[in-house]
Amino acid sequence: MLEAGRLLLLVGGGKMGEALLVGWLRHGLAPEAVLVVEPDAARRQALATTHAVRAVAAPEELPEAGTLGALVLAVKPQMMDRALPAYVGRVAPDTLVLSIAAGKPIAYFERMLGQPLGVVRAMPNTPAAVGRGVTVLCANAAARKEQRALAERLMAAVGATYWIEDEELMHAVTAVSGGGPAYVFHLIEALAAAGTAAGLPEALAMALARGTVVGAGELARLSDESAAQLRINVTSPGGTTAEALKVLMAEDRGLIPLMVEAVAAAARRSRELA
């Protein structure tokens, strides 16, 4: 995955950082080619024992030797100002700088780390932990072919990848696929709550809701039919589902206007984090 003798430095071994790490190791990245900076002691220990990678609490503890093939930035956007200065001297023009932080634009990393620098901004999502992530990537003009290819390999290891040219779209991407898994998990909670309200025991309602979302997702993945057709396939004319969909698809108060509002709110927050 990386050129021989080069290192991948992961800054932030939290939920998303670890999900990516798992995918990379599964795709052949050698644990000894990985260094992680993670201040949380419990997480650091878990990363080191579970994945056999070297993990340190702070950049000052990193070994001097080794050329960075990739610097992957996976700390919260609000922590970035504090985290980045320590890495200025560690990136070379051929190091890939890969940020997965919401909001933060490419120009921010160019400014903080010095130019010229190959920067790729990516927005993955948590299904990356099971190899079913969706990631959108966007590179700066200085990113070399090899740096883009490395970013592609790293993100393809955890799922599907899409590239965009217009970085402004990253706010919408973050709102749709970055946070999207949370909306789907909330759909499970909502369907389970509705089942309980309809008289089902709580545990059964949750099992049915979870199984339904998982099954529908798998059907959507494997089927050639559109989402609309898959919906129609469930909806017997004059049957029960049609009654529910009259509520969910109501033009003024159905799921679409609600989702449009939710995604706009997330995109607005992404712009604020920039």
Ligand X SMILES: NC(=O)C1=CN([C@@H]2O[C@H](COP(=O)(O)OP(=O)(O)OC[C@H]3O[C@@H](n4cnc5c(N)ncnc54)[C@H](OP(=O)(O)O)[C@@H]3O)[C@@H](O)[C@H]2O)C=CC1
Ligand Y SMILES: O=C(O)[C@@H]1CCC=N1
Nearest residue (beta carbon) to ligand X: 14
Q: Which is nearer to ligand Y, 53 or 266 (CB)?
A: 266
CA nearest to 59, candidates 87, 17, 99: 87
Residue 31: CB atoms within 10 Å: 13
Counted residue by residue, the chain has a size of 274
Query: Please, which of residues 148-177 interact with ligand Y by CB under 6 A?
Result: 174
Report the distance separating Cα 171 and Cα 132, nearest Å. 21
Nearest approach, Cβ of residue 77 and ligand X (Å): 5
When the beta carbons of 95 and 195 are compared against ligand X, the nearer one is 95
What Rg do the C-alpha atoms of the chain give, in angstroms? 21
Q: How far is the CB of 68 from ligand Y (least distance, A)?
A: 25
Minimum distance from residue 174 beta carbon to ligand Y (Å): 5
Supply the minimum distance, in Å, between the C-beta of residue 251 and ligand X: 31
User: How large is the greatest C-alpha to C-alpha distance in the chain, in angstroms?
Assistant: 70
CB of 228 to ligand X, least distance (A): 28
The least CB distance from residue 218 to ligand Y, in Å, is 23
Cα end-to-end span (Å), the chain = 30
Site for ligand Y in 93-122 (CB under 6 A): 102
Phi, psi of 23 (to 5 degrees): -65, -40
Q: Hey, what's the torsion of the CAs at 9, 15, 19, 24, to 10 degrees?
A: 10
Could you tell me the two tokens for 50? 């579970």
Pattern 223-252, binding to ligand X, x per CB under 6 A? ------------------------------
CA angle 222, 223, 226 (to 5 degrees): 135
Which residue of 8, 17, 70, 206 would you call a contact of ligand X, by CB under 6 A? 17
- Residue 125 touching ligand X (CB under 6 A): yes
The residue whose two tokens read 């790293």 is 154
Find where tokens 């369907």 sit.
191
Distance in angstroms (rounded) separating the CA atoms of residues 18 and 55:
12
Residue 11 found at the interface with ligand X (CB under 6 A): yes
Among 102, 134, 143, 176, binds ligand X (CB under 6 A): 102
Contact call for residue 178 and ligand Y (CB under 6 A): yes
* 66 contributes a contact to ligand X by CB under 6 A: no
| Interface with ligand Y (CB under 6 A) | 102, 174, 178-179
| Interface with ligand X (CB under 6 A) | 11-17, 37-40, 43, 74-77, 79, 82-83, 100-102, 123-126, 178
